Amino acid sequence: MSIVVQKFGGSSVADPDKIRKVAQNIARGYDKGNQVVVVISAMGDTTDDLINLAHKITDQPESREMDVLLSTGEIVSSALLTMALHKLGYKAISLSGRQAGILTDSSFSKAKILKVESDRIVKELNDGKIVIVAGFQGITHDSDMTTLGRGGSDTTAVALAISLKARVCEKLTDVDGIYTADPRICPDARKLKEIGYDEMLELTSSGNKVLHIRAVELAGAYGMPILVASSFNDSPGTLIHGGDLMEISNKVRGIAHDLDVAKVTLTGIPNQPGIAAAIFEPLAKAGISVDTIVQNAFMENVTDLTFTVSRGDLKKANDVINAIARDIKAAEVVTDAKLGKVSIVGTGMQNSPGYASKMFTALSKAGINILLITTSEIRITCIIEEAKVKEAILALHRAFELEKV
Amino acid sequence: MSIVVQKFGGSSVADPDKIRKVAQNIARGYDKGNQVVVVISAMGDTTDDLINLAHKITDQPESREMDVLLSTGEIVSSALLTMALHKLGYKAISLSGRQAGILTDSSFSKAKILKVESDRIVKELNDGKIVIVAGFQGITHDSDMTTLGRGGSDTTAVALAISLKARVCEKLTDVDGIYTADPRICPDARKLKEIGYDEMLELTSSGNKVLHIRAVELAGAYGMPILVASSFNDSPGTLIHGGDLMEISNKVRGIAHDLDVAKVTLTGIPNQPGIAAAIFEPLAKAGISVDTIVQNAFMENVTDLTFTVSRGDLKKANDVINAIARDIKAAEVVTDAKLGKVSIVGTGMQNSPGYASKMFTALSKAGINILLITTSEIRITCIIEEAKVKEAILALHRAFELEKV
């Protein structure tokens, strides 16, 4: 018998009816002769509701207590899903992150998994039980509850799959695979049968939200295949794996976009060693995650520097940067909150300079102004006005003929 | 420094505003120089909400999973209360039942505490922290979550107080002490300064809901004093203790009542050995808790038997008893759901026959018909119609002059 780890997201278990449907789905997989471990998120908006509750008590909840609070959401859904499987006549048991042996460091609210001690899971599987694990959580060596940060349930699922030597880690969600572009925006978007880890990483870091980036990284490092498929129907999904990819005719694999982009520009900075550190260290200390950084030296002694952050961090970033600007005698701080980014991703791009110019031409023809450009070996990203993102996706999908296999 | 264990109920932490007030209350106790351990219940109706959620999934949730589900309620409130203390500038930490070292047997949903390993609590107290413990929960030796049953948080508090050799266990709630009768019903009811464990046990088992009976038993067994006081104001409460009681002039200590009484009568039972077992074993197996039992043998070979159960159990009890009645060829099963009971309690009653007749006379004068009578050494209970309970309390409070010290 082979082990399958299945991950269901919060929208799949948002209410009792959906929990019952997920239980039926799990039961079908078990009836096929698999040993099934399920990793579950909190129901619907539970995590956000708990965060709001904490913020009614204090504007700066301590992260250890926040983790105690938030970890209850997944425990509730794991117990309810287990009850639904019992109701269907299946043997099942819920395990918390602790009971599932998810050992983490002590970075509360963004803990990293150090080790999985899966003895208890193995024992329950050998008893013929379906094992339902509360995702997103673990335990420190001091026995304190931790959470893995947003999207951490994906990481739990991949870590368990690796530890249990599962055949596959299935991510079952309300989208039924990875598309060449967001199908809600681009009607021609095509579902991919398969995609490599590198490409999936780039799509994920560029705004595709189907999987958490840490989960993709971890799966890639251990070669654990992830199947992304629907939690509600049996249509074939997308397999993320590290083997040879069959579907190579199209060198751009997909388009990712992100609407949560804000920009801070600092002008007239004295161009001297240590300036970048003086700017980015305080941002890191303030817990602000900086995405793209672009620096242009127009004149010999003065430079301009632009970086992007998520919109929620813009106010804090602006405060930090204004203080720094005074210290380093920069000329001006300018911010823009209404930006988006659009990226093309594909391993075929490597060493092929034609892709960049084709992308810029397509955007230019659509009348879209490019504000910032960044690239990796297999990705080109343009930061543009938020209002133009949809048009940009459609133009790029057409230009690279992604509707064709 | 002496340790004080404080228990706050669910109504004291029903919303963020109340949680903040409780935090201020705790901070005042800490500022007086105490080491403070707080045991907390789930917020308001959380436990009932979780039970309803489970019943939307299945009508018979497995008790292990039910405990996983329900134990989250206290964890949420413990984290929120800890955050509120941080906000006030106090060092505090939340601990789950597991982290607080509450080890129980494996009787899910009604686990008994076997042992308290309080090392972690002691460590945190010695670090100068206020320790907030999630009540109502523990852990089996297999590391599974258990709950102690309704009212279990009181038991957690007393068990911790005993284990930590606390000076006192304070039960802080929305009533500010133990009264001679329910003050919402009887305007003359007087707050007691102190009461003995035995009397408190009888009041509790007769319907007084301020403390859970297991907590009173446990406190009595170890001589741990319990102070019942208000969670919202500083008015002096009632001390439950085992020492000499100062306030002995009034031999009836108080009146308890209970509106949740239903009665099952089985008539025409062949009066032979083993009949009582044949009746009560199936009830116990069905999980029905039987309160009062009265048997009257009117004729030599035939007897009538009446017992009371809580109203929620009446339907199940009736089904069980009808099956038994056929087996043992009893004449008839009669039920009545609309009953109540009223009890007078006081150690002074011992060996003083006058109390019973005084009670019956007072009820008779008020035109109240007594359906069943049961007594203990320090208690007399009359089961009467539900509609007459209020009148009965007022009549008895006057007859025994409980308004006078």
- If asked whether residues A168 and A267 sit together in one domain, one would say no
Tell me the angle at which helices A63-87 and B46-57 cross, rounded to the nearest 10 degrees.
30
pLDDT surpassing 90 at residue B26: yes
- If asked whether residues A23 and A162 sit together in one domain, one would say yes
Has residue B221 been placed in a domain?
A: no
- If asked whether residues A266 and A124 sit together in one domain, one would say no
Residue of A nearest to B81 (CA): A57
Has residue B159 been placed in a domain?
A: yes
Are B79 and A143 in contact (CB < 8 Å)?
no
User: CB neighbours of A374 closer than 8 A, spacing ≥ 6?
Assistant: A292, A294, A380, A381, A383
The predicted pLDDT at position B297 comes to: 65
Mean pLDDT score across all residues of chain B? 91
Q: What is the ipTM of this complex?
A: 0.79
Length, in residues, of chain A: 405
The predicted pLDDT at position B148 comes to: 94
Span B53-68, pLDDT tens digits: 999 999 999 999 999 9
Give B154's pLDDT tier (boundaries 50, 70, 90).
Answer: very high
Are A56 and B16 in contact (CB < 8 Å)?
yes
Report the distance separating Cα A321 and Cα A307, nearest Å.
11
The predicted pLDDT at position B249 comes to: 52
Average pLDDT value for residue range B394-401: 94
Has residue A265 been placed in a domain?
A: yes
Report the distance separating Cα A381 and Cα A399, nearest Å.
15
Span A358-396, pLDDT tens digits: 898 999 999 998 888 888 888 899 999 999 999 999 999
The predicted pLDDT at position A130 comes to: 98
Domain closes at, from A174, A196, A223: A174
Q: Does A76 touch chain B (CB under 8 A)?
A: yes
Question: Are the C-beta atoms of B240 and B183 separated by less than 8 Å?
Answer: no
Residue A270's DSSP bridge partners are A302
- If asked whether residues A133 and A272 sit together in one domain, one would say no
Are B72 and A75 in contact (CB < 8 Å)?
yes
The predicted pLDDT at position A59 comes to: 93
Report the distance separating Cα A352 and Cα A94, nearest Å.
50
Has residue A288 been placed in a domain?
A: yes
**Å between B151 CA and nearest CA of chain A:** 21
The predicted pLDDT at position B256 comes to: 95
Q: Which residue has the tokens 């039926």?
A: A24
Report the distance separating Cα B356 and Cα B348, nearest Å.
12
Are A68 and B79 in contact (CB < 8 Å)?
yes
Give A287's pLDDT tier (boundaries 50, 70, 90).
Answer: confident
- If asked whether residues A25 and A162 sit together in one domain, one would say yes
CATH number of residue A370's parent domain: 3.30.2130.10
Q: Does A21 touch chain B (CB under 8 A)?
A: no
The predicted pLDDT at position A269 comes to: 86
pLDDT surpassing 60 at residue A404: yes
Report the distance separating Cα B264 and Cα B257, nearest Å.
20
**Phi, psi torsion values for B189, nearest 5 degrees:** -55, 140
Length, in residues, of chain B: 405
For the record, the structure tokens of B120 come out as 């972690």
The predicted pLDDT at position A85 comes to: 98
Report the distance separating Cα A100 and Cα A5, nearest Å.
13
User: CB neighbours of B357 closer than 8 A, spacing ≥ 6?
Assistant: none
Report the distance separating Cα B55 and Cα B58, nearest Å.
5
Residue type, A34: N
Span A310-332, pLDDT tens digits: 999 999 999 999 999 988 888 89
Mean pLDDT score across all residues of chain A? 91
The predicted pLDDT at position A384 comes to: 93
Question: Are the C-beta atoms of A273 and A283 separated by less than 8 Å?
Answer: no
More reliable by pLDDT, A390 or A354:
A390
Among candidates A61, A75, A83 on the partner chain, residue whose Cβ is nearest the Cβ of B83: A61
CB-CB neighbors (< 8 A) of B143 in chain A: 98-99
**Å between A215 CA and nearest CA of chain B:** 27
Q: Does B56 touch chain A (CB under 8 A)?
A: yes
Report the distance separating Cα A207 and Cα A205, nearest Å.
6
Q: Does B163 touch chain A (CB under 8 A)?
A: no
For the record, the structure tokens of B222 come out as 């170890």
**Phi, psi torsion values for A65, nearest 5 degrees:** -70, -35
Report the distance separating Cα A355 and Cα A202, nearest Å.
16
More reliable by pLDDT, A294 or A78:
A78
Among candidates B69, B75, B82 on the partner chain, residue whose Cβ is nearest the Cβ of A80: B69
Choose the weakest-confidence range: A63-77, A299-313, B138-152.
A299-313
Give B246's pLDDT tier (boundaries 50, 70, 90).
Answer: low
Residue of B nearest to A143 (CA): B99
Cβ atoms within 10 Å of B271's Cβ, excluding its own: 15
pLDDT surpassing 80 at residue A207: yes
The predicted pLDDT at position B285 comes to: 85
Average pLDDT value for residue range B19-47: 95
Q: Which of B247, B5, B37 is CA-nearest to residue B121?
A: B37
- Name the 3-class secondary structure at A390: helix
Strand order in the sheet with B254-270: B290-296, B302-309, B254-270, B332-345, B379-385, B372-376
Strand order in the sheet with A130-134: A92-95, A130-134, A35-40, A3-8, A168-173, A226-230, A238-241, A194-196
H-helix or E-strand containing B372?
strand B372-376
When divided into structural domains, chain A yields a total of: 2
Please state, for a pLDDT cut of 90, what percent of chain B lies above it.
70
Residue type, A299: M
For the record, the structure tokens of A44 come out as 């619907």
Has residue A269 been placed in a domain?
A: yes
Span B64-110, pLDDT tens digits: 999 999 999 999 999 999 999 999 999 999 999 999 999 999 999 99
- If asked whether residues B260 and B158 sit together in one domain, one would say no
Span A167-198, pLDDT tens digits: 999 999 888 999 999 999 999 999 999 999 99
Average pLDDT value for residue range A14-34: 95
Q: Does A54 touch chain B (CB under 8 A)?
A: yes
Span A121-161, pLDDT tens digits: 999 999 999 999 999 999 999 999 999 987 799 999 999 99
Cβ atoms within 10 Å of A16's Cβ, excluding its own: 19
More reliable by pLDDT, B272 or A9:
A9
Among candidates A20, A57, A86 on the partner chain, residue whose Cβ is nearest the Cβ of B16: A57
Has residue A238 been placed in a domain?
A: no
CATH number of residue A80's parent domain: 3.40.1160.10
Report the distance separating Cα B389 and Cα B258, nearest Å.
8
- Name the 3-class secondary structure at B191: strand
pLDDT surpassing 70 at residue B247: no
The predicted pLDDT at position A331 comes to: 86
Q: How far, in Å, are B11, B35, B297 from residue B232 at the CA level?
A: 11, 20, 53
Has residue B35 been placed in a domain?
A: yes
Q: Does B131 touch chain A (CB under 8 A)?
A: no
Highest mean pLDDT among A238-247, A376-385, B350-359: A376-385
- If asked whether residues A269 and A159 sit together in one domain, one would say no
Domain closes at, from B120, B150, B174: B174
Among candidates A57, A87, A96 on the partner chain, residue whose Cβ is nearest the Cβ of B58: A87
Q: Which residue has the tokens 């799966």?
A: A219
Are A87 and B57 in contact (CB < 8 Å)?
yes
Has residue B44 been placed in a domain?
A: yes
Among candidates A53, A72, A83 on the partner chain, residue whose Cβ is nearest the Cβ of B54: A83
CA A160 to mean position of chain CA atoms: 18
Are A65 and B86 in contact (CB < 8 Å)?
yes
Domain closes at, from A113, A139, A174: A174
CB-CB neighbors (< 8 A) of A20 in chain B: 57
**Cβ within 8 Å of A, B 83-112:** 83-84, 86-87, 93-94, 96, 98-99
Which of A21, A58, A71, A141 is the best mutation test for B, with the most CBs of B within 10 A?
Answer: A58
Question: Are the C-beta atoms of A261 and A314 separated by less than 8 Å?
Answer: no
**Å between B132 CA and nearest CA of chain A:** 11
The predicted pLDDT at position A298 comes to: 63
Domain of A23? Answer: 3-174
Are B72 and A69 in contact (CB < 8 Å)?
no
Cβ atoms within 10 Å of A202's Cβ, excluding its own: 28
Are B83 and A65 in contact (CB < 8 Å)?
yes
Q: Which of B125, B134, B28, B7 is CA-nearest to residue B82?
A: B134
Among candidates A83, A94, A144 on the partner chain, residue whose Cβ is nearest the Cβ of B58: A83
